[in-house]
Amino acid sequence: MERLHKIISRAGICSRREAEKLILAGRVTVDGKIIRELGAKADSNQKICVDGKPLTICAKKIYILLNKPRGYVSTVKDERGRKTVLELLGENFSDKRVYPVGRLDLNSEGLLILTNDGDLTNALIHPRFEIKKTYRAKISGVITEEKLDKLRAGIELDDGLTAPAEVYLLGENLVEITIHEGRNRQVRRMLAAVGCDVKRLRRIKFANLTLEGVGVGKYRELTADEVAQLKGDSI
């Protein structure tokens, strides 16, 4: 027997966190019975359905690095009809049930990982593993050493104090910042807290991965060595 949300995640439906939401919403059944308990367990040989569709455990794990352009949402479907990052993958992965690891907001761009490996997704976004993500932000507003030091020490946001960040001034209006948290629009909010408005935000590194050789709107599959290193970083 295994936790139900883990089985759903391993099937490539969504991350464990999203699977928990599906369970609470009553969208998951086991042998025809609606399950609403987060601690519920099941056997993968039982008939498990999400929204009435039987679960299929994916035989092959897929790992994709995408250079996300602005104007795309980091989700599988969008209720408002906006373009999603899955559209950039074309027909090659339309039936593979890959989904984004974390998110880049509509107007942010850069490195985004997509996979059907729910266990790896959970490890990469879980705070305790402190997976580093590096961004470059083009800003307006005066950035001083004092403000940089505040960012390095941690900024008080409406959802609490951020962890210390690695921050470098690359030019008059260009900042590079590395964080290991995954709060909503965190980099934008951190910079806004010191009086700087982000005009352009691009993620250039996620753990050991960079955008080298991948054009805007393009993607590639990760190598076996890259996947192994990702899994090593998240243990």
158 included as an active-site residue: no
Whether the CB-CB separation of 34 and 181 falls below 8 Å is answered with no
Question: Which position among 31, 95, 105, 197 bears the catalytic label?
Answer: 105
How far from the centroid of its chain's Cα atoms is residue 140's Cα?
27
The size of the chain, in residues, is: 235
Residues 6+ apart with CB under 8 A from 172: none
Residues forming a β-bridge with 53: 50
Residue 195 in tokens: 């009086």
Rounded to whole angstroms, the Cα distance separating 73 from 75 reads 6
Q: Distances in Å between the alpha carbon of 10 and those of 100, 113, 141, 229?
A: 14, 16, 45, 20
Rounded to whole angstroms, the Cα distance separating 125 from 102 reads 7
As annotated, the active-site residues are: 105
